[in-house]
A and B are shown apart, each in its own frame.
Chain A
Amino acid sequence: MAIIVNLDVMLARRKMQSKELAEKVGITMANLSILKTGKAKAIRFSTLNAICAALDCQPGDILEFQPDEES
């Protein structure tokens, strides 16, 4: 996947725990784990909006594009 989720980095910067973020965003720990491990196929704008609000950051701080090695 060419899109990297840098949620761990932002959580560390904000000194926030995954559980606290999950509660603030309103998603389960399992779904947050899927997001953090890059297994997610898509992210809703509403979820992205809630994460950005909780972490006080921009979408670009969480998502990063890295071209595939093949391409």
Chain B
Amino acid sequence: MNWNKILIVYAKWVLIISRFIVVALVLLALVNGKNLGSPHKLEINLDIREAEFGPVENMISSDAEYADRVQSIASYGGTRRLEIDLGDQVFTGSVVLMVIKITLVVAFLHVLLLIVKSTERKEFFSEGNVFRIRLIGFGLIGWAALDRLFHWYTNFLANKYLESDYLDSLRVSVPIVPDIFGNTFVIGLIVLIVAQAFDHGLKLEKEQELTI
């Protein structure tokens, strides 16, 4: 068994296990409820140089109704982490985003597994794989678009609570969704699959060159 085959078998099992782990963790989190965090609360990281712009507290709205809902939960380096209780305003948005992202993660793992399996069968260059790779591409674009949309939505909501020109530095975290597209392991796996495809393509090219 050569290194390529070992890699494919390893990748296949990692994906099979990851798929079940993701589904199991999500189900566990939904049943347990504890890991859901507080979907109605917006956790934001403000990367602000306080020496230059003054204390973050000064940026909180002067309106008492909104100011009471802002809580500073951590401070490290030049970053302050604030938590805003948005009530039900953001709940629906974050839950919808969470469900879409979980669906994307599971679908992505499944599609990646199908590609790895086809590589194992030496059927990498197939119409099915073209469709699957396109699906991953659209998934990545969709993921980024969703993040951007949710970012705008929360920025729009947070404007009431913070009087700052620096709201662009808001970083929104959605509970229990693994950031699979930002995971270096998954990116490494995709790169290795591409390398495998190139290896197969190179063999085909050599064969083509020796076809008279």
Binds A, one of B11-19, B125-133, B204-212: B204-212
- Determine the distance from Cα of A42 to Cα of B207 in the docked complex, in whole angstroms: 8
Beyond A39-B210, A42-B211, 20 additional pairs, beta carbon < 8 A: A27-B212, A31-B212, A32-B212, A34-B210, A34-B212, A35-B212, A40-B210, A40-B211, A40-B212, A41-B206, A41-B207, A41-B210, A41-B211, A42-B207, A42-B210, A42-B212, A43-B211, A44-B211, A44-B212, A47-B212
Chain B at the A interface: SS class = mixed
Please encode chain B, from 87 to 128, with 1 for each CB lying within 8 Å of some chain A CB and 0 for all others: 000000000000000000000000000000000000000000
How many whole Å from A64's CB to the nearest CB in chain B?
A: 17
Say which size band chain A's interface belongs to. Answer: 10 to 19
A32: chain B residues within 8 A (beta carbon): 212
Task: Pull 14 A–B residue pairs with CB atoms less than 8 Å apart, ordered by A.
Answer: A27-B212, A31-B212, A32-B212, A35-B212, A40-B211, A40-B212, A41-B211, A42-B207, A42-B212, A43-B211, A43-B212, A44-B211, A44-B212, A47-B212
How many whole Å from A65's CB to the nearest CB in chain B?
A: 18
Q: Which residue of B lies closest to A27 (CB)?
A: B212
B211: chain A residues within 8 A (beta carbon): 40-44
Residue numbers of A with Cβ under 8 A of B are 27, 31-32, 34-35, 39-44, 47
How many whole Å from B50's CB to the nearest CB in chain A?
A: 69
How many whole Å from A71's CB to the nearest CB in chain B?
A: 22
A43: chain B residues within 8 A (beta carbon): 211-212
- Determine the distance from Cα of A57 to Cα of B116 in the docked complex, in whole angstroms: 47
B206: chain A residues within 8 A (beta carbon): 41
- Determine the distance from Cα of A39 to Cα of B211 in the docked complex, in whole angstroms: 10
Interface hub of B207, B210, B211, B212 (most chain A Cβ within 10 A) = B212
How many whole Å from B98's CB to the nearest CB in chain A?
A: 53
Q: Which residue of A lies closest to B209 (CB)?
A: A41
How many whole Å from B210's CB to the nearest CB in chain A?
A: 4
How many whole Å from A26's CB to the nearest CB in chain B?
A: 11
Q: Which residue of B lies closest to A33 (CB)?
A: B212
B207: chain A residues within 8 A (beta carbon): 41-42
- Determine the distance from Cα of A39 to Cα of B206 in the docked complex, in whole angstroms: 12
A27: chain B residues within 8 A (beta carbon): 212
- Determine the distance from Cα of A35 to Cα of B211 in the docked complex, in whole angstroms: 9
How many whole Å from A59's CB to the nearest CB in chain B?
A: 14
A47: chain B residues within 8 A (beta carbon): 212
Closest 6 CB pairs of A and B: A41-B210, A42-B211, A31-B212, A35-B212, A40-B212, A41-B207
How many whole Å from B86's CB to the nearest CB in chain A?
A: 66
- Determine the distance from Cα of A32 to Cα of B212 in the docked complex, in whole angstroms: 8
